[in-house]
Amino acid sequence: MEPMQPILETRGLCKRFGFVEAVKNVDWQIYPGQVTALLGDNGAGKSTLIKLISGAYQADAGEIWVRGQQARIKGPVDAFNLGIAPVYQNLELVENRNVMLNMFLGNELTHGPLGIFLDKKRMADQSSQVLQDIHSRIPDVRVPVAKLSGGQRQVVAVGRALVRGGDIIILDEPTAALGVEQTREVLRLIETLRANGKTVILISHNLSQVLEVADWISVMFHGEMVGTRAKDQVSRADVVSMIMGTKADDLAMA
């Protein structure tokens, strides 16, 4: 069998803030159509790494490759154009606007000669279709986001990423603020995204959730990538010691 080609790869990626080396020489491969979890203690560099990939930050050194080509990601728009769609923890939703307008926020469809009228019909159709594709239980795209649960808000934020054509969906701590039932909803959403052929990067502190949904587990420690393991080839104890800073290679030797 041919070795799988990564859809996204970083080579020697570095980012420092003053004296803090937040991301240190990170080589990382992300495989298409799979869920890769990114774990690591507070301050390990996880959010910084995905912000580099998503164009929110510029790397000090290193390369990002997407679908086999070196990418020039100078800002979020470049990342979006490559299908890279981050969903940050604050979700960036507008409370008093409805689901459909939030999904098209900053990207509204218009009609009329000058394009000054919102094309609500087309936005409603497209957003409903996207929500249907991810088996969302949000009944009506005209409900204001203020009325939704935390899990449903996560769905809307992911829906926005999909509406924009995202196919590498990055979720930073999507279940951190959620209860049990809503967490289940988000885990189901991740599985649905994978079933629909999307590539998912999931940042999480919750090892049980990660072991439930991820195909690959990557661990960072103090800005470095400790290693990436196939989920079914790693034990919970292995992952814990990687999070504590034990090199994956040492584990393999042990």
Binding site for ligand ATP (CB under 6 A): 17, 20, 22, 40, 42-48
Q: What are the beta bridge partners of residue 219? A: 39, 227
**Binding partner at 40 among ligand ATP, Mg ion, none, C-beta below 5 to 8 Å by kind:** ligand ATP
Is residue 190 a contact partner of residue 37, using CB atoms and an 8 Å limit? no
Residue 43 contacts which entry, Mg ion, ligand ATP, none (Cβ below 5-8 A, type-dependent): ligand ATP
- Considering beta carbons, is residue 17 or 117 the nearer one to ligand ATP? 17
With CB cut-offs between 5 and 8 Å by kind, which of Mg ion, ligand ATP, none does residue 227 bind? Answer: none
Structure tokens at 234: 């790693």
CB of residue 202 to Mg ion, shortest distance in Å: 12
Shortest distance, CB of residue 174 to Mg ion, whole angstroms? 12
**Identity of the residue, 123 or 219, whose beta carbon is nearer to ligand ATP in the bound complex:** 219
User: 79 CB contacts (<8 Å, ≥6 apart)?
Assistant: 53, 54, 55, 73, 85, 86
What's the closest the beta carbon of residue 170 comes to ligand ATP, in angstroms?
12
Nearer to ligand ATP, 24 or 194 (CB): 24
The tokens for 48 are 């910084």
Picked from ligand ATP, Mg ion, none, the partner binding residue 20 (CB below 5 to 8 A depending on kind) is ligand ATP
| Structure tokens given for 190 | 């991740």
SS3 of 173, please?
coil
Q: How far apart are CA 44 and CA 22, in angstroms?
A: 7
CA 173-179-182 angle, to 5 degrees, is 80
Under rule CB under 5 A, which residues in 21-60 are in contact with Mg ion?
47
Residues that bind Mg ion (CB under 5 A): 47
